[in-house]
Amino acid sequence: MSQSRPFTFDRVIRILIGLAFVTGVYWLVNRLSNVLLPFFLACLISYILEPLVEFNLKKLHLHWRIAAIFFTLTEVTLVIGGLIYFFLPSVLKEIHDMAAIIRDYSAHNRSLPFIPKEIHDYLTAYFDDDTMVRLLEGQHLESILSKGTSVISASVGFVIHTLEWFLAFIYVIFILLDYQHIMRGFGLLVPPKYRPIASRIGNDIKNSMNRYFRGQALLALCAAVFYCV
Number of domains in the chain: 2
Q: Are residues 147 and 201 in the same domain?
A: no
Q: What does the mean pLDDT of the chain come to?
A: 76
Cα(109)–Cα(102) distance, rounded to whole angstroms?
10
Tell me whether residue 105 is in a domain. yes
Tell me whether residue 222 is in a domain. yes
Name every residue whose Cβ is closer than 8 Å to that of residue 51 and which is 6 or more positions away in sequence. none
The sign of the dihedral angle between the CA atoms of 42, 47, 51, 53 is positive
Using pLDDT thresholds of 50, 70 and 90, give the confidence band for residue 78.
Answer: very high
pLDDT of residue 1: 45
Tell me whether residue 59 is in a domain. yes
pLDDT of residue 101: 73
Tell me whether residue 23 is in a domain. no
Tell me whether residue 120 is in a domain. yes
- Neighbouring CB atoms inside 10 A of 214's CB total 10
pLDDT of residue 16: 85
Q: Are residues 59 and 121 in the same domain?
A: yes
Tell me whether residue 7 is in a domain. no
Cα(27)–Cα(34) distance, rounded to whole angstroms?
13
Question: Which residue has better confidence, 131 or 160?
Answer: 160
Give me the domain span that covers residue 229. Answer: 190-229
Tell me whether residue 173 is in a domain. no
